[in-house]
Amino acid sequence: MTDLHRLSIRELSEGLAGAKFSSRELTEHYLKRIAKLDTQVKSYVTVTAEQALAQADAADVAIKAGTATALTGVPIAHKDIFCTQGIKTTAGSKMLDNFISPYDATVVAKGKAAGLVTLGKVNMDEFAMGSTSENSFYGATANPWNLGHVPGGSSGGSAAAVAADLAPFATGTDTGGSIRQPASFCGLTGLKPSYGRVSRFGMIAYASSLDQGGPMARSAEDCAYLMNVMAGHDAKDSTSIEKDVDDYVANLNGTAIQGLRIGIPKQYFNVAGLDADVKARVEESLKKLEEMGATLVEIDLNMTEAYVPTYYLIAPAEASSNLSRYDGVRYGYRAENPVDLMDLYKRSRSEGFGAEVQRRILIGTYALSAGYYDAYYVKAQKVRRLIQQDFLKAFESVDVIAAPAAPTTAYKIGANLSPVEMYLGDIYTIAVNLAGLPAINAPVGFDKDNLPVGLQLIGNYWSESQLLSVVHQYQLATDWHTKRAAIAEENA
Ligand code: GLN
């Protein structure tokens, strides 16, 4: 079959179970596409072909033996932030270019236990800091919809791989939008779960109180399949919640949109820099949801102006602490011929980290230093609480909150925005992480240059099933999620 990459996760699952094709055939098909097309997209940092074929053969045995799960034999790409035993795990950094993880992240281990086949590790902004994936030591990944544009970030490799049909779905992580914004830029569905729903064990830390892993795929249904694998309590992550996991696939159907109260924050649609096409597509999608039975309710989110300054204190503060472990001594990059210990530390870190990571370590260290701690870090934590309360108040009168995922569509590669301009592009995503809420991006059309636009829906805590179900119902009634970039149409 030459069109295996067209199939949804459900179709792959059914096709494998019904012996229409084998996992080996499917895996070879994807590996062939990667070999042919990824020279243009540059989504993979590492392709694990040999291991993938071995996993595929094992999956085929399990399917024949009747011991398969719904996902046995289905290929996946992992963001290169998830530790993979025996395989290079770089977090997009020169610092970890030589790092072979001795263990699997819980998300990866769960994927293996479910029979998923790992195609490889995909590109990202260094240590997940960025919005374009250009901050990677391995170079920029291209947006499949227009190879001169970025796929977004930091999970840009995950998004580009799926949008170019170089993986059926992928894992991502979202500290301040890194699942939702690249999903938006690449026309995909991506879910950032509630903080604590997915284990962070073995997921290289950026800002621990904000980081959360989640699925990136072509549809809400495909995301639901991956959530069924990713979600759940993990004794190895004390911040993961001991709460029953939904069956995200079984919960997709129903009447999620009928009577749904969607909050429209006044402040969000008056943000300077909100692109006219993005605004128009988002408003059209909301109109469609209204036709399908939802009610639109205007709400206030008064803390909107505080989002960017608060996030860009807390995230760098936590990053400066998390990244102190890369000292050139224990693992990772080590500078050559150090004259003394200080020289080893200094040169390993200034040679091993890129500019954006160093910038954030400096900001974070400053914000946490004696004399400034109360003025910056403690104050930011107080504002963070107010931002959370703002959302909780809104959820007293609405079920979900609608927003664009990003104020613009995908930037040009090399657009070279200033750090502050770049940070302002995170306005719609970062508050969700500060509050620990779940949110989903769904594709809802294109701008005048044929670049995808995304609608973001923010839910209350643990409402992942509801968000997936709303988007699934929307996707049953529309076809934006079925559109493919030209490069995805190419056969290998
Ligand atoms: N763009 C944001 C940042 O640079 C979010 C990144 C993320 O979610 N990992 O921090």
pLDDT tens track for 78-126: 999 999 999 999 999 999 999 999 999 999 999 999 999 999 999 999 9
Which class for 451: exposed (0-12), middle (13-18), buried (19 or more C-beta within 10 A)? buried
CA 333 to chain centre: 26
Contacts of 339 (CB under 8 A, 6+ apart): none
Q: Which atom of ligand 1 is nearest to the CA of 210?
A: 8
The angle subtended at Cα 214 by Cα 248 and Cα 480, nearest 5°, is 75
Return phi, psi of residue 436, to 5°. 80, 20
Mutate to test the pocket of ligand 1, among 430, 437, 441, 456 (most ligand atoms within 8 A of CB): 430
Contacts of 387 (CB under 8 A, 6+ apart): 303, 306, 307, 310, 431, 434, 435
Q: For position 372, what pLDDT does the model report?
A: 92
Mutate to test the pocket of ligand 1, among 81, 154, 356 (most ligand atoms within 8 A of CB): 154
Average pLDDT over residues 453-463: 98
Distance 207 CA to ligand 1 centre (A): 10
CA 202 to chain centre: 16
Q: Ligand 1: list residues with CB < 6 Å.
A: 128-131, 154, 174-178, 206, 315, 426
Q: Which atom of ligand 1 is nearest to the CA of 174?
A: 8
Residues marked active site are found at 79, 154, 178
Quote the CA–CA distance of 119 and 35 in Å, as a whole number: 12
| Residue 253 pLDDT exceeds 90 | no
Average pLDDT over residues 314-339: 97
Q: Are strands 400-404 and 439-446 parallel, antiparallel or unpaired?
A: unpaired
Q: Which atom of ligand 1 is nearest to the CA of 356?
A: 4
Q: Output the average pLDDT for the chain.
A: 97
| Residue 2 pLDDT exceeds 80 | no
Residue owning the nearest CA to atom 5 of ligand 1: 176
- Which of 272, 297, 151, 276 shows the shortest CA–CA distance to 216? 151
Distance 275 CA to ligand 1 centre (A): 20
Q: For position 490, what pLDDT does the model report?
A: 85
Q: Which atom of ligand 1 is nearest to the CA of 179?
A: 8
Distance 155 CA to ligand 1 centre (A): 9
Distance 16 CA to ligand 1 centre (A): 37
| Residue 492 pLDDT exceeds 90 | no
Peptide bond preceding 154 in cis form (omega within 30 of 0): yes
- Sheet containing strand 213-217, strands side by side: 44-47, 117-122, 75-79, 170-173, 213-217, 189-192, 439-446, 452-459, 400-404, 261-265, 295-299
Q: For position 1, what pLDDT does the model report?
A: 65
Quote the CA–CA distance of 345 and 352 in Å, as a whole number: 10
Distance 274 CA to ligand 1 centre (A): 19
Mutate to test the pocket of ligand 1, among 80, 129, 204 (most ligand atoms within 8 A of CB): 129
Distance 154 CA to ligand 1 centre (A): 6
Q: For position 254, what pLDDT does the model report?
A: 79
Quote the CA–CA distance of 301 and 150 in Å, as a whole number: 30
pLDDT tens string 421-430: 999 999 999 9
Q: Which atom of ligand 1 is nearest to the CA of 130?
A: 4
Average pLDDT over residues 233-251: 97
| Residue 345 pLDDT exceeds 90 | yes
Average pLDDT over residues 41-60: 98
Residue owning the nearest CA to atom 4 of ligand 1: 130
Please name every residue paired with 408 in a beta bridge, in sequence order, or none if there are none: none
Return phi, psi of residue 171, to 5°. -90, 155
pLDDT tens string 366-375: 999 999 999 9
